[in-house]
Amino acid sequence: MPSNAEWDKLFRHVDGTTGTSSPYTSPTAGRYLKAVSGWYGNGNGTDDYGFSALPGGMGYPDGDFYEAGDFYDESEDGTWWTASESNSDDAYLRDIYYEDDYALWGDGDKSLLFSVRCVKD
């Protein structure tokens, strides 16, 4: 699973920028990393890098998932865990939402159910 630094590197590569702030929010990476179909409304991306990001929503530890229309809706929001902890209870995550081009960061309780991406070393 990618660390915060690896997600930062991806977002900066897609943006064509440099820097060292971490975690990094990209103003454009969402557009270029989203799949060309599968997102709510007109929220599809260009998938310029073959990342094919798809929305996956969010689930609770008991197996329940957010309902349609909620922020972490399964067709509107893609959220992926990082391997980096923000504290003993929470880990950093990366988020892409259907209605804009941003690729954001946040943190959440480790018991929540978000998607993961694997990285080949």
Query: What confidence tens digit (pLDDT) does each residue in 16-27 have?
Result: 998 888 999 999
Is 90 part of any domain? yes
d(CA 119, CA 121): 6
Domain assignment of residue 116, yes or no: no
Report the number of secondary-structure helices (H) and strands (E) in the chain: 2, 3
Q: Residue 7: which of 28, 19, 22 has the closest Cα?
A: 22
Domain membership of residue 44 (yes or no) is yes
- The answer to whether 113 and 59 are in contact (CB under 8 A) is yes
Structural domain of 22: 4-109
| Six-digit token string for 23 | 């975690």
Residue 119, pLDDT above cutoff 70: yes
Task: Name residue 53's beta-bridge partners.
Answer: 34
Mean pLDDT of 66-93: 81
Structural domain includes residue 91: yes
Residue 51 has pLDDT above 90, yes or no: yes
Domain count across the chain? 1
What one-letter code names the amino acid at 11?
F
What is this structure's pTM?
A: 0.88
CA 56/CA 79 separation, integer angstroms: 7
CA distances from 100 to 63, 97, 111, 114 (A): 28, 6, 27, 20
